[in-house]
Amino acid sequence: MIGIICDSVVDIPQEFAKRDDVFVVPILVILEGKSFRENLEISKKEIIDYLENSFAKTSLPYPNDVMDAYREMHKRGYDEILVLNLSSGLSGTHNLFITMGEQFKSEVGNVQIEYVDSLSLSGGAAMLFYKALKMKERGDSLKVIASDLKKRAGSKNPVFFVIPTVKYLKESGRIGKLEGFVGQILKVKPVVTIDRKGTFAPVGRARLMKKAVETMVERLLDAVKGKKIFCVALYHSGDDPETLSLVSWVREKMKHLSEAFLTGEVSSGILVHGGKGIIGVGALIG
């Protein structure tokens, strides 16, 4: 039987996270030097409140948590395991899962593990997860599923985000290619994508959030024009009226693309680096 393990930045909908054949390993959120397992030991509201006056950090999951995930899935009877992680270009999480997975294989022997680097995060990775579930339900093998996901990661999985402020990225040192793009103007709302290497790349910017969101949707619609769409994703952070209004507007613009529509709030691991008001969209082609 095939089980699926992922990290919490993959942002799968809660109904999937509760399945017996799925295990989500939490990444760590660090406030004032103290580490918390996201969703288990700290809430998104607590993080948003903290970010009003300070900065937070993230870190890889505890290695023991990753090992416990492998052991628990094997205990449940899953001797074939698909591992899906946020982009290795943004975090060392994927390499940690490989290291612990190979150690686990050496301990038990009778298990197959396939590792997939999503080259994305949040809704982008969640769409690959959804594709894996659908392939599993129709009876595809572990190797076939992993191969399909690896081919789709990157260019066939366009994802775009509007980040309401770059101050958290600047503080954490993760601003990368956005540094020269936005300069020192913290009020600019950058529109970013995840490039083929799984790292942030700028594609637009605006002074006003509404204009930035419009640009983001235009970019996505251009990327999928004339192509068959397997599913789409719409994620956000926070519950400010302006954010929720923009999310509703985006949903109307995107609802024609696919009946499979994944929605939710971004992981705390993303919230820490972007703050409240993030809006992200994506589509899985083919």
**Residue 155 has what pLDDT?**
74
pLDDT at 186: 56
Task: Give the pLDDT confidence score for residue 238 in this predicted structure.
Answer: 93
Confidence at residue 274, expressed as pLDDT on a 0 to 100 scale? 87
Q: Are 257 and 232 in contact (CB under 8 A)?
A: yes
Per-residue pLDDT for the chain (286 aa), expressed as one digit of tens each? 999 999 999 999 999 999 999 999 999 999 999 999 999 999 999 999 999 889 999 999 999 999 999 999 999 999 999 999 999 999 999 999 999 999 999 999 889 999 999 999 999 999 999 999 999 999 999 999 999 999 999 878 999 999 988 787 776 555 555 555 454 455 788 899 988 888 888 898 898 999 999 999 999 999 999 999 999 999 999 999 999 999 999 999 999 999 999 999 999 989 998 899 999 999 999 8
For residue 156, what pLDDT is reported? 82
C-alpha span between 257 and 283 (Å, rounded):
9
Distance separating alpha carbons of residues 1 and 147, to the nearest angstrom:
18
Q: What is the pLDDT of residue 172?
A: 57
* Residue that the structure tokens 């419009």 belong to: 214
Classify burial at 236, counting beta carbons within 10 Å of its beta carbon; exposed 0-12, middle 13-18, buried 19 or more. Answer: buried
**Please, where are the H alpha helices in the chain?**
14-17, 44-51, 63-75, 93-108, 122-137, 142-152, 167-172, 178-182, 209-224, 241-254, 268-274
pLDDT of residue 188: 81
pLDDT for position 173 = 56
Asked if 100 contacts 63 with a C-beta cutoff of 8 angstroms, the reply is yes
The structural domains of the chain, ordered by start, are 2-152 (3.40.50.10170), 159-285 (3.30.1180.10)
Cα–Cα separations (whole angstroms), residue 189 to 66, 171, 183: 35, 16, 12
Between CA 57 and CA 59 the distance in angstroms is 7
Task: Give dist(CA 100, CA 152) in Å, integer.
Answer: 25
Burial string for 110-148 (b: 16+ CB within 10 Å, else e) reads ebebbbbbbbbbbbbbbbbbbbbbebbeeebebeebbeb
pLDDT at 174: 52
pLDDT of residue 184: 47
Tell which residue, 93, 39, 46, 89, has the closest CA to residue 192: 89
How far does CA 131 lie from the centroid of its chain? 14
